[in-house]
């Protein structure tokens, strides 16, 4: 799969996190553990980012920015999930709000992925 295709898939997959986290906030439950969510190399996109498939892109500023933001995204999602599972709905909701950390990092990651996609070939 091309870089552009991988990025397109990742944008959709990471967009689903908002729904997963909202469900965890509402129910206080999740099939995922916060420690696993924090790891940026367990999701399909993370596996691809850290694989040999991206070796040619690793020197690009777009790759480095996406790699950094992707790790931040997973750490933040883990924090939201931890708060939700602990019943701390206020903290979780604030992170998910319009000016919240999760919302900000998610938007920055999506923007960086779109920028990388626009510059990527194939």
DSSP track, 87-120:
T-HHHHHHHHSTTSHHHHHHHHHHHHHHHHHHH-
CATH code: domain of residue 29: 1.20.120.30
pLDDT at 105: 97
Torsion over CA: 33, 42, 5, 73 (sign): positive
**Side-chain half-sphere exposure of 84, counting CA atoms within 13 A:** 28
Check: CB of residue 46 under 8 Å from CB of residue 105: no
The DSSP call for residue 6 is H
| Domain span including residue 87 | 3-119
pLDDT at site 87: 96
Say what the pLDDT of residue 78 is. 98
- Contact at 8 Å (CB) between 101 and 95? yes
Tokens 């500023």: give the residue.
61
Q: What is the reported pTM?
A: 0.92
Contact 3/49 with Cβ under 8 angstroms? Answer: no
Listed as ranges, residues in the chain with pLDDT below 70 are 121-122
Q: How many domains does the chain have?
A: 1
- Other C-beta atoms within 10 Å of 78: how many? 19
Q: What interhelical angle do 3-27 and 61-85 show, nearest 10?
A: 20
């Amino acid at each position: 799969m091309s870089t552009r295709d991988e990025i397109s898939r990742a944008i959709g997959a990471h967009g689903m996190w908002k729904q997963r986290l909202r469900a965890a906030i509402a129910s206080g439950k999740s099939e995922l553990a916060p420690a696993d969510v924090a790891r940026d190399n367990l999701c399909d996109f993370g596996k691809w980012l850290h694989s040999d498939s991206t070796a040619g892109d690793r020197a690009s500023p777009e790759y480095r920015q996406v790699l950094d933001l992707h790790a931040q995204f997973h750490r933040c999602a883990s924090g939201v999930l931890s708060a939700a599972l602990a019943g701390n709905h206020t903290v979780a909701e604030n992170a998910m709000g319009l000016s919240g950390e999760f919302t900000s990092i998610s938007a920055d990651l999506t923007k960086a992925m779109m920028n990388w996609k626009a510059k990527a070939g194939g």
